Amino acid sequence: MGNGSEIMAEVVKIVEEDGAEYKNPMVIEGLPDMGLVGTIAASYIVEKLNYKEIGHIESDLFPPVMVIHGGKLKNPFRIYSDEGGQVVVVLSEVAVPPKAVYPLTTALADWFHKIDVKQPVISIKGLPMKNRVDIEKPKVFAVGNDEDAMKELKDKQLDLLEEGFIAGTYAIMLRECSKRRISAISLLAQCFPVYPDPGAAASAIESVKKFVTSLDIDVVELLKNAEEIKLKARDLMQQTALSASEMQKGMEQDMPIMYR
């Protein structure tokens, strides 16, 4: 890897495998956020559907960490795709440091434009709920960045987040996509703010399936293994919670000003 094409936005590089091909792909992003909803959902999709790794993201702003899976050294920010190049999944196993948010989202939005993604781009994230423990099946709310995205959300009968704040990487992702006239949506599943939440990830996957019809996947195994996933995700959750506190993530539970 590393000899393929590269998109560079300041200090973030998207490095693609040689021969990576895309056919107007749907993009699903699963980066560490509240409840690790995006990371857990994206990892489950990639593993269950046996997607292949087609690239990774590098930056001096990322933590100096590599991960090891099955004895192989891997970059923690990775890009996967299905066999036909019709679905692309971006996921990370380390928290996005606040300093990396702007260059990372810029690089990704440029790359989405370059590979001519099918719109809308889908981000999976958590919506922190104080009473999550009392919620049996988390609901999913949605935010779109333009008229097309909003129409798509209404067509799919998703509950819209009407008022509130969205903070962190996905907030800037929606904005950077808007700048490039790329429709993008965020799916926000009700979740524990600081505990890994496989139940919320399962709800999010059910909503993603409304957009990506080729996603032939059920969430039974995810729910069955929820406790084990929670155990394994503890360290990443801890890092993410620390990083989130620097990104005004607490604002997501605040009310916005009444008059606009």
> Which positions touch other proteins (CB under 8 A)?
63-65, 68, 71, 94, 97, 133-134, 192-196, 226-228, 230-232, 234-235, 237-239, 242-243
DSSP string for 207-219: HHTTT-TT----S
User: Coil, helix or strand for 42?
Assistant: helix
User: Coil, helix or strand for 240?
Assistant: helix
Residue 19 or 64 having the CB closest to other proteins: 64
Residue 19 or 71 having the CB closest to other proteins: 71
State the DSSP code for 260.
Answer: -
* CB atoms inside a 10 Å sphere around CB 101: 21
Closest contact distance (angstroms) between CB of 224 and other proteins is 13
Closest contact distance (angstroms) between CB of 169 and other proteins is 15
Closest contact distance (angstroms) between CB of 227 and other proteins is 4
- The DSSP bridge partners found for residue 125 are 188
Closest contact distance (angstroms) between CB of 53 and other proteins is 19
Residue 133 or 257 having the CB closest to other proteins: 133
From 162, 235, 164, 233, select the one nearest 199 (Cα to Cα). Answer: 233
Residue 33 or 82 having the CB closest to other proteins: 33
Residue 55 or 196 having the CB closest to other proteins: 196
Residue 54 or 201 having the CB closest to other proteins: 201
From 258, 182, 195, 236, select the one nearest 26 (Cα to Cα). Answer: 182
Residues in the chain: 260
Closest contact distance (angstroms) between CB of 249 and other proteins is 14
Closest contact distance (angstroms) between CB of 206 and other proteins is 19
Using CA atoms of 193, 199, 201, 202 in order, give the dihedral in degrees to the nearest 10.
-160
Query: Which stretch of DSSP H or E encloses residue 18?
Result: none
Cα gap 79→83, rounded to integer Å: 13
